[in-house]
Amino acid sequence: MAESIDLDGNQTLVEALPALHNPRARRLRSLVWNDFTKKQKLDGNYEAICNHCAKKFTANSRSGTTHLRNHLNFCLSTRRTDGRKRGKKQLIALKSTRINNYDKDGHGGSQFDQEVSRQDLSRMIILHEYPLEIIKQIGFQTFIRNLQPRFKLVSEEMFMDDCLKIYENGKSRLSELLETLPCRVGLTMDRWGSNYGAEYLCLTCHFVDNDWKLQRKMLNLLHFEAPPTAEDIFEGIMEKLHDWKISRKLSCMGSDQCVSDQVAADNLLLNFLRSTDSLHLNGDLFLFHGLVHVLDVVAQESMVQILEICERVRSCVIFVKSSHEKLKRFQNAAMLADAPKKNLVLDVSSNWRSTYLMIATVYEFQNAFKNLEEYDSDFSFDVEWGDVKSVKECLETFDHMIKKFSGIRVPTANHYFIDICGILLLLNSWSSSPVPVIAKLASQMLKGFKPYWDANIMVLAIASILDPRYKMKSVEYFFKKIYIGDYEAKMKVESIFSSLRNLYSEYVVHSANSKSDQALLCYTSGNSGCLVLECGTSGGSHSSSHITLSDTRRGLDQYLQQTLSSQSIKSDFDLYLEEPVYIYKDGPDDSFNVLAWWKLNAAKYPILSLVARDTLPIPLGNVTTRIEDRPLSQYLNSLNPLALQSMVCAQDWLRGEMEANVEEVECSANNIVVKL
């Protein structure tokens, strides 16, 4: 009997036809036979049957196995793709329970469950923001009746109760998770608006779970009838933090530095938490600002320096689009210039990214506009194309960075330091440009960017140090380029290093206190000023006239403990920094999963891994959005504040479950292919 292993890792036995004994028969040594079964046909020849698709191939001794390998590559690739598609389709149903069986008449079917189907429909309503009135619509009722005649639609009130139960169950699970979580959580706030003048403040927490995966969970949607004051925001946030029992577990809070009442509320919260002595480094790393939002604001506020160029470029587009005849002449000029086949873009002056897109598109049609200027006496372009190019390149940098930061799949805090340093170096260079318009634009951008740099460089640098690919190297390299003189750069580097060491020391103390009732190894200050290991135990000594073998061993332990204080044992912090940087060769830099690395090395760096677990989830990239960027749908606007909070939070949690399940399916498929 031949043995094979299917793609799910389950062993199956494949029966072979009885074969004549052949003394010359030899063992099948090729690994390809793990996926094929060799059988002897009645005519004496052999065939190989694929264990995955049952396709048959010749398998005589002179046939070799190359054709089998070629088929296996295609067959497994196809199964992997199909498996992913099937997995995603199953996850769309949110893992609803379906028990396959057969009806009495022998036809295949699935067991119907009214309660499960009601839950599925309630989840669908939450996920896609369908109004509850959908259950009254004739088309929907007909669809349900034809799909499953036994399914009974209930009232809107009952479906709303089902949705609220989904929210309450999700809230209970999340509350239990946060309460038992051994690490800290970060908090961000997002301002939402409604069509009826009310405002909402969305609270979201960020943390690393026990499997070292980044989690983002919406907590609350605070409702304010009128624009809230700083005291209103502070009191609302504190109430919810106490409800979730995380008021003493916060690591950071992301805020909008452009809203005055929000800044005041942030300071109220910071001062209160400082008074409770619940923040690391006395709250020096507590407040941060979202990088994407900052770049967007800096670019928008700098557009005032290039109003003249923008207006002249805009007038060119308006001229071309003003009549069909002019558009036709421009198309002819573009054809002669072999210009790209795309449309000109007219911007919205209040949105700098649309203005950048307009400038970039016009620059691509540079030769077309030059031709138009020669052939059409009504058209003239009195701007230097060199200035247009320089402005385009400046705005392009900000547009590229925003897209890059917004598209990071696992947005841990280590992703941003290098690019932020690069932006600052570019702005410093541009501000000294011989092109006046670029020097003015860059100087204005620097004016808005420097406050962000000063307020956030500490946490940005610490997160970069906790990336094993860089450690202190990235900070040392860029600070030498950014700061004037070796002394200033050295002092800045030492300041970052000192803050990280102090942060680490606080974790050492906390870890030692939490284990004070156990035999442990903790970190204390040795004669050299460095952190060293010291043994301790909560058990007392005992005296006895009877000496045992363990007593003789205890003498050695005591001697080791006495001599340990004079030895210089390195902490995991020093060990981490002294070891070479990690060379990542498995793909582009953005694909490196720093959390997976720390999960693998947590035992080696027991204290420093706690620092990494609390620091790396800080969402330094995209935090807040403008109210007009996050409008509520008409259906959500119609709900009362409690129902609205329940629906949007439940929607966030359900989508998070779906994304996690899809990722799990993809990882499983990748692992199967890697093993093969």
* Residue whose C-alpha is closest to residue 198's, from 232, 230, 222: 222
User: Counting runs of H as helices and runs of E as strands, what totals does the chain give?
Assistant: 22, 14
pLDDT in tens, 278-296: 999 999 999 888 899 899 9
Task: Check residue 534 and give its pLDDT.
Answer: 40
* Residue 555 pLDDT greater than 90, yes or no: no
Split at pLDDT 50, 70, 90, the class of 539 is very low
Task: Check residue 562 and give its pLDDT.
Answer: 64
Please, what's the b/e burial string for 297-320 (b: 16 or more CB within 10 A of its CB; e: otherwise)? bbbbebbebbeebbebbbebbebb
* Residue 26 pLDDT greater than 90, yes or no: no
* Residue 551 pLDDT greater than 70, yes or no: no
The amino acid at 304: V
**Hey, where are the domains in the chain?**
31-68, 114-228+648-675, 298-498
* Residue 504 pLDDT greater than 50, yes or no: yes
Range 527-546 average pLDDT: 42
* Residue 589 pLDDT greater than 90, yes or no: no
Task: Check residue 7 and give its pLDDT.
Answer: 33
* Residue 19 pLDDT greater than 60, yes or no: no
In this predicted model, which residue has the larger pLDDT, 552 or 291? 291
Range 352-361 average pLDDT: 96
* Token pair recorded at residue 162: 């089902």
The reported pTM is 0.74
Task: Check residue 196 and give its pLDDT.
Answer: 65
pLDDT in tens, 208-243: 999 999 999 999 999 988 788 889 899 999 999 999
Straight-line distance from the first to the last Cα atom of the chain, in angstroms, rounded to the nearest whole number: 22
Split at pLDDT 50, 70, 90, the class of 527 is very low
SS3 category, 428: helix
* Token pair recorded at residue 462: 């610490």
Q: What is the DSSP string of 587-622?
A: S-GGG--HHHHHHHHTTTSTTHHHHHHHHTT---SS
pLDDT in tens, 65-82: 888 887 877 675 555 555
Task: Check residue 193 and give its pLDDT.
Answer: 72
Q: Which letter does DSSP use for residue 61 in this model?
A: T
* Residue 105 pLDDT greater than 50, yes or no: no
Lowest mean pLDDT: which of 178-187, 555-564, 651-660?
Answer: 555-564
Lowest mean pLDDT: which of 245-259, 486-500, 546-560, 568-582?
Answer: 546-560
Q: What is the dihedral of CA 93, 97, 103, 108, to 10 degrees?
A: 40
Percentage of residues in the chain having pLDDT higher than 70: 78
Task: Check residue 78 and give its pLDDT.
Answer: 53
Q: What is the DSSP string of 63-90?
A: T-SHHHHHHHHHHHHHHHHHHHHHHHHH
Lowest mean pLDDT: which of 157-166, 416-425, 629-638?
Answer: 629-638
Split at pLDDT 50, 70, 90, the class of 28 is low
Lowest mean pLDDT: which of 94-103, 251-260, 453-462, 657-666?
Answer: 94-103
Q: Mean of the per-residue pLDDT values for the chain?
A: 82
Task: Check residue 155 and give its pLDDT.
Answer: 92
Split at pLDDT 50, 70, 90, the class of 541 is very low
Split at pLDDT 50, 70, 90, the class of 547 is low
Q: Which residues contact 591 (CB under 8 A, 6 or more apart)?
A: none
Split at pLDDT 50, 70, 90, the class of 57 is confident
Task: Check residue 568 and give its pLDDT.
Answer: 61
Task: Check residue 536 and give its pLDDT.
Answer: 42
SS3 category, 57: strand
- ∠ CA(407), CA(413), CA(416), 5° rounding? 65
pLDDT in tens, 406-445: 888 889 999 999 999 999 999 999 999 999 999 999 999 9
Lowest mean pLDDT: which of 103-112, 253-262, 581-590?
Answer: 103-112
Percentage of residues in the chain having pLDDT higher than 90: 54
Split at pLDDT 50, 70, 90, the class of 621 is confident
* Residue 257 pLDDT greater than 90, yes or no: no
Left (φ > 0), alpha (ψ -120 to 50) or beta: where does 184 sit?
A: beta
The span from the CA of 66 to the CA of 46, in Å, is 16
The span from the CA of 392 to the CA of 311, in Å, is 14
In this predicted model, which residue has the larger pLDDT, 535 or 215? 215
Phi, psi for residue 251 in degrees, rounded to 5: -105, -30
CA distances from 553 to 75, 534, 539, 550 (A): 63, 19, 16, 5
Q: What is the DSSP string of 398-427?
A: HHHHHHHHHT-SS--GGGSHHHHHHHHHHH
Beta strands 250-255 and 185-193, pairing class: parallel
Range 440-452 average pLDDT: 95
Sheet with 199-208: strands ordered across:
214-224, 199-208, 185-193, 250-255, 287-289
pLDDT in tens, 634-650: 788 888 899 999 999 99
Task: Check residue 512 and give its pLDDT.
Answer: 80
Range 452-462 average pLDDT: 95
Range 379-389 average pLDDT: 88
Q: Which residues contact 421 (CB under 8 A, 6 or more apart)?
A: 474, 478, 481, 482
